[in-house]
Structure 1
Amino acid sequence: MDIKSKVIIIIITGASSDIGEAAALKLSMNGAKVVLSARRKDKLNELKKTIEKKGGEALVVIADVTKMVDMEKLVDKTLEEYGTVHAIINNAGLMPLSFVKNLKTDEWEKMVDVNIKGVLNGVAAVLPTLIKNKQGHIINISSVAAYRYFPGGAVYCATKAAVKMFSEGLRQELAPKYGICVTSIEPGAVATNLMDTITDEDILGKLSEMQKMTMLAPEDITEAIYYALTQPSRVNINDVYIMPTEQQ
């Protein structure tokens, strides 16, 4: 797909930068019209200004991925502005790792709401338009955690495994009948603010060694997103599994 002038919704975790910002910049600089969505307006407006200064086009729509009504409004506003949607990148995610015995159930619920329900809501909101167009692309950011457990990751790994399997189910349902591609992006350790949500002291101590290695940059994930989006219509990139060279 040639992404020039294509309308791509990018769900950004909170109002952080990281993968969402890098993807917005990369895609907009290659001609896409990007729709930026998160809960905080100030950071999104800063990103919009940066994109416009570079000659790109962006629309800001505030939304909470855990609320279906917000995601419906996000798509409605996108359709009002641009008339269609060509792709969505479901990037919102939380990673408050903890050992199950510590029973941080509030954090479990937040992960399920954002990491799983957020993806479901994003897909549900955009899918009628993609089916009507009989084309489009859904990109879900999963993780290497979908394949392997690591200390404190029981719930987090479960959420990412759910995203991966949901993506595969979507692909089998949508690609042959409607021409809608579905891709699961599965990074290893990325230099983002995900670890800032960890409150379990036992986990923080165990992660100190991992933080010493050279992690992936958000731009590395963006390149995988761009690769998946720009393949010919006959090609569906099912999964992109990306690891830092230093990570075992």
Structure 2
Amino acid sequence: MSALEGTVALITGASSGIGAATARALADEGAAVALIARRIDRLHTLASEITAAGGRAAAIVADITDRAQAEAAVARTVGEFGRLDILVNNAGVMLVGPIEQAPIDEWDRMIDLNLTAALSMTKAALPHLLASAADDPRRVADIVNLSSTAGRQVKRGSAVYNLTKHGLGAFSESFRQEFSARYVRMALVEPGAVDTELRDHIRDGVREGNIDRMRTLDPLQADDIAEAVRYIVTRPRRQTINELLIRPTLQND
């Protein structure tokens, strides 16, 4: 039997990159997957791919920076599949650049998506995760928060991105201390440079330097991070991976 047979996983930011790769990886292990994002065409394509391979998937369009939509996405997942065992808070945006020239709406977008949306999803999912942790088939539930090396260090030109990822790390550790005895595990994954669409949203004049740096690093791929998430959520009940830092071999910061 597959490690996640009979379980349900909800993945935010599932329309591309790490989110889509994680959905495939968890479906491969037998989990039914709820795919949450705003791009409905991509969600339907991914859901069809997973279904064609024998899995179960639901495409749920939501802007999770809106708390009501975040709560509705969790409710629809449980309505569709009957339970929730795994939450992967993957959705995020990286709008780096010097503080002085930064449009303040970029800061708002990062705080809303990287931090507040993850908190809203976690709060909405928690009662269902606690119920699954007390029940078969695994008697354990998981939250995986996708952070970054930016959550372990501070760099110029990355102030608010650093803020959101440090904040996510602090929340994750406090959550772990509060809920580990009830078998809701918390894991923080901190990738270095990954070749995804994340850099596409950086404003002109900053994006080019970021992309040039990526070319020198032989960056990680989305599947590398998906494999890390798969590893975390398939550990036996007695074991928790609290934190996993993954860098490209050539990345020194």
Mapped contact 1:28–1:34 kept (Cα < 8 A)? yes
**Structure 1 equivalent of residue 94 of structure 2:** 95
Residues 38-70 of structure 1 show CA distances to partners (whole Å, capped at 9, x for unaligned) of 112111000011111111110111111111111
Q: Percent identity?
A: 37
Higher mean C-alpha deviation, range 106-115 or range 128-137: 128-137
**Deviations 1:62-107 (CA, angstroms, capped at 9, x unpaired):** 1111111111111111121211100100000000111001132010
- 1:217-236 to 2 correspondence within 5 Å? 217-236=221-240
Secondary structure, counterpart of 1:209 in structure 2: helix
Amino acid at match of 1:170: F
Structure 2: gaps of 5 or more residues? 135-139
Match of 2:137?
A: none
Structure 2 counterpart of 1:245, from 230, 241, 249: 249
2: CA distance between counterparts of 1:167 and 1:149?
A: 18
2:214 to 210, 213, 222: 210
- In the TM superposition, structure 1's runs of 4+ consecutive aligned residues that sit over 2 Å from their partners are 131-135, 202-207, 209-213
Rate the CA distance shift 1:103–1:34 in 2: closer, same or farther, 3 A: same
Residue 151 of structure 2 is aligned to residue 146 of structure 1: yes
Which residue, 191, 202, 205 being the options, matches 2:195? 191
- Mapped to 2, the partners of 1:71 and 1:229 lie a distance apart of 22
Normalised to the residue count of structure 2, the TM-score between the two structures is: 0.92
1:135-167 Cα shifts (integer Å, max 9, x gaps): 411110000111123342111011111111111
Distance 1:59 1:69 in 2: 19
What is the aligned length?
245
Could you tell me which amino acid in structure 1 is paired with residue 175 of structure 2? L
| 2:185 alignment partner, one of 181, 186, 197 | 181
Q: Where does residue 174 of structure 2 map in the other structure?
A: 169
Q: Distance in 2 between matches of 1:206 and 1:131?
A: 41
Shift of 1:21: 0.7
Structure-2 separation of matches of 1:49 and 1:211: 33
Q: Pick which of 19-28 and 144-153 moved more.
A: 144-153
Which sits farther off after the overlay, 210-219 or 108-117?
210-219
Give the RMSD, CA atoms, in angstroms. 1.5
CA contact (8 A) 1:152 1:203 kept: no
Give unpaired runs (5+ residues) of structure 1.
none
Aligned to 2:9: 8
Q: Match of 1:157?
A: 162
Partner Cα separation in structure 1 for residue 246 and residue 82 of structure 2: 34
Q: So what's the TM-score if we normalise by structure 1?
A: 0.94
Q: CA deviation at 1:119?
A: 0.5
